[in-house]
Structure 1
Amino acid sequence: MTNRLTKLIITALLSTSVLALTGCASSTTTESTGQYLDDSVLTTKVKSSLIAEKNIHAGNVTVTTFKGIVQLSGFVNTPNEVLKAGEVASKVPGVVKVENDLIVK
């Protein structure tokens, strides 16, 4: 009886340990709370930089950030605005990469 109880306890402890370690694993599709806040700040900084740039009509530009990767989407008036927006976004500290999906109207 004691041997069986010992095996049961060991199995339970190992199972709990494996589950605990699995919960600590990093995911490529979700963010931690800290990363989400960092990305929110980064999004705000990129949007502010785009608005401050006089050669970009940023009103129709959407900025989203996931793990430091900034995505620009929406519409601008000229191909030059597409290029300039990508340049401005890439110069913001903390931006890892810019995915420029802007479309010329």
Structure 2
Amino acid sequence: MKHFFRFFSAFILALTLMTAAGCASTQKKEGTGEYVDDTVISTKVRSALLSEPNLKSAEINVETFKGIVQLSGFVTSSADISKAVEIARGVNGVKSVKNDMHLR
């Protein structure tokens, strides 16, 4: 019985470690917590862009990976590009902003 208990304990420990390792992040893959954080950051950036009345933010796409926000899409002026980047940088949790927007 004692041998069974040790085996069972080792099995549970190994299973727990494998589960934790499966949720860990790598350079090219986000962990579960990072994915949720990035989703929240993207939502906050989209909301901030939408609240800017002079910016046609419906044509700006927002993607976030490990706190780095990428803005892409089309805008009508370079002032709109600058404004969108400035707004994104002002959102809490944004580490940096990659600008891939183009003028229409």
Shorter chain as denominator, the TM-score bin is: 0.7 to 0.9
Runs of 4+ residues over 3 Å off in structure 1: 23-26
Q: Is the 8 A contact 2:25 2:31 kept in 1?
A: no
Q: Which residue of 2 aligns with 1:53?
A: 52
Query: Following TM superposition, by how much is the alpha carbon of 1:68 offset from its aligned partner in structure 2, in angstroms?
Result: 0.1
d(CA) in 2 for partners of 1:63, 1:104: 17
Q: How far apart, in 2, do the equivalents of 1:104 and 1:52 lie? A: 21
The structural deviation recorded for 1:55 is 2.0
Partners of 1:56 and 1:99 lie apart in 2 by: 18
After superposition, what is the alpha-carbon deviation per residue over 1:12-70, rounded to whole angstroms, capped at 9, x for unaligned? xxxx9xxx7xx587511000000000000000000000010112110110000000000
Question: 1:81 and 2:87 equivalent?
Answer: no
Larger Rg: 1
Report the equivalent of 2:61: 62
Provide the alpha-carbon RMSD of the alignment: 1.6
Scaled by the length of structure 1, the TM-score of the pair is: 0.75
Q: Which amino acid aligns with 2:49?
A: L
Contact 2:68 2:96 in 1 (8 A): yes
Distance 1:34 1:26, change over 3 A: closer
| 3-state SS, counterpart of residue 29 of structure 2 | coil
1:104 aligns with 2:99: no
CA distance in structure 1 between the aligned counterparts of 2:52 and 2:81, rounded to whole angstroms: 12
TM value normalised by structure 2: 0.76
Letter in 2 for 1:57: K
Where does structure 1 lack aligned partners over 5 or more consecutive residues?
A: 1-15
Q: Which range moves more in the overlay, 38-47 or 52-61?
A: 52-61
